[in-house]
Amino acid sequence: MSIHPLPPPKEPTGLGRLPLARWFLFTGAVATVAFVAGAVVVMLMIARTRALRPRPDVAEQLGQLNAALIVLFSVLLACGVGLTVIVRYAVLKPIDQLTEQVRTVAAGDFDHALHVDRPAELAELSSHVDAMRGRIVSAWRVASDQAEELRRSNGELEQFAYVASHDLQEPLRKVASFTQMLEQRYGPQLDGRARQYIHYAVDGAKRMQLLINDLLDFSRVGRVTGEKTVTDSGAALDRALDNLSAVLEDTGATVTRDELPQVRGNRTQLTQLFQNLIENAVKFRSEEPPRVHVAARRRGEVWEFACSDNGIGVEPRYADRIFLIFQRLHPRDVYPGTGIGLALCRKIVEYHGGQLWLDDTGPGGGATFRWTLPAAADGGSTHGEAGDGDG
Ligand SMILES: Nc1ncnc2c1ncn2[C@@H]1O[C@H](COP(=O)(O)OP(=O)(O)OP(=O)(O)O)[C@@H](O)[C@H]1O
Ligand SMILES: [Mg+2]
């Protein structure tokens, strides 16, 4: 298995920059020089003392001292050579081996095992590091398998939604229009019950057309209308209000707003988002004329928006359910709709890297939906300016 290499290691600083081998060479050279100098000085001193013709017993002592020093220096030399060999083969070489293995793993070959036999400390260290590597690799493998599986099933689902919503449109249109033609042409010859049946069939077909169109819209998010630019959220709200002007006028709704910021997003989808939320705020109104307020506040890298209304509100226990596709809390004859609006809103917000949720209902009742969107690079607040060039 090979994945992206890790970033290059940090450069060491200070005296620690020198590799261990060089430290040993340096110390070894100093010790050798000191050793040779020491030996030469001692021999010179003994030779000078001999030149002074000492007494025979002193000369004999000197001879013994000379022999003892030669043995001592030989032992020291043998120890020095032995230490060098041990450091070279038992420390530096295994460290080099381990470094080379770690370098291969860091270069991207995460299946490369780490193992050195000696010394005991390095063998233990390498086996712990290798166990960690193994564990991380298998967790990564499971996660990437799951991600791949999710991507595949997501793709299949999107494909299914697209096929269901696109290819079924035509046969359904046929069913609806031929049933209507049946009613128009043979209506007078049919009795009341037959006409009622035809009415149900047409009604069912029309409803299915609505559902299918909604599904098509839903499956399009992020697939067709995906381009994200710096967009003025105030302008997106304006467009949504424009699209809803008739229903806002009919219901006497008032929509107020804070100063709305520029965000990074897709203007069509942001308009859809505002439109669905405000449409809901007006549709699920209480006895009073609807009052809707759209607010925004900066939270680090994102803007948090809120859309609050004075309508019938949503019970907290349905806070998750209302975001599921085709899930509704009321019968269709009381509040019309297919139940896709909030699912679409959530998909749009998540496509932008944000989150959408139902906030706890405030003291004034009604419902408050909150969502986050990434701030545009400058993060400026430009309500009223045609920031995205769409007026
Ligand atoms: N502002 C709101 N006040 C009260 N209830 C709401 C509000 N917004 C959504 N809901 C509840 O959440 C449900 C799901 O909303 P959603 O927008 O997905 O569907 P819908 O409005 O019923 O249908 P559609 O949006 O497809 O026309 C609604 O049926 C309603 O019960
Ligand atoms: Mg809705």
In order, the DSSP letters of 98-150 are HHHHHHHHHTTBTT-------SHHHHHHHHHHHHHHHHHHHHHHHHHHHHHHH
- Distance of CA 203 from the midpoint of ligand 1 (Å): 22
Question: Which residue's CA is the closest to the ligand 1 atom numbered 31?
Answer: 329
- Ligand 1 atom 28: the closest Cα is on which residue? 328
Task: Compute the half-sphere exposure of residue 167: CA atoms within 13 Å on the CB side of its CA.
Answer: 6
Q: Is the CB of 313 under 6 A from ligand 1?
A: yes
Residue minimizing CA distance to atom 3 of ligand 1: 313
Q: Is the CB of 98 under 6 A from ligand 1?
A: no
Rounded CA separation 124/360 (Å): 55
pTM, 2 dp: 0.65
With a 6 Å cutoff on the Cβ, whether 213 touches ligand 1 is: no
At a CB cut-off of 8 Å and minimum separation 6, what does 152 contact? Answer: none
321 lines ligand 1 (CB under 6 A): no
Question: Would the CB of 325 count as within 6 Å of ligand 1?
Answer: no
Q: How far is the CA of 361 from the centre of ligand 1 (A)?
A: 15
Paired sense of beta strands 262-265 and 302-309, if any? unpaired
Beta carbons of 371 and 349 less than 8 angstroms apart: yes
Q: Is 206 exposed, middle or buried (0-12, 13-18, 19+ CB in 10 A)?
A: middle
pLDDT at 378: 58
Cβ–ligand 1 distance for 49 under 6 Å, the answer no
Three-state DSSP class for residue 55: coil
Query: What are phi and psi for residue 232, nearest 5 degrees?
Result: -80, 115
290 lines ligand 1 (CB under 6 A): no
Contact status, residue 130 vs residue 114, Cβ threshold 8 Å: yes
Instruction: List the chain pLDDT tens, one digit each, 391 residues.
Output: 556 777 777 777 777 777 777 888 888 899 989 989 988 998 899 889 889 888 889 889 888 988 998 899 899 989 989 998 988 898 889 999 999 999 999 888 889 999 999 889 999 999 999 999 999 999 999 999 999 999 898 888 878 877 877 888 888 889 989 998 988 898 889 888 998 899 899 888 888 888 888 888 888 787 665 788 999 999 999 999 999 999 999 999 999 999 999 999 999 999 999 999 999 999 999 999 999 999 999 999 899 999 999 999 998 889 999 999 888 898 888 898 889 999 999 999 999 999 999 997 655 689 999 999 999 875 444 443 333 433 3
How far does CA 90 lie from the centroid of its chain? 44
The confidence score (pLDDT) of residue 331 equals 87
pLDDT at 383: 41
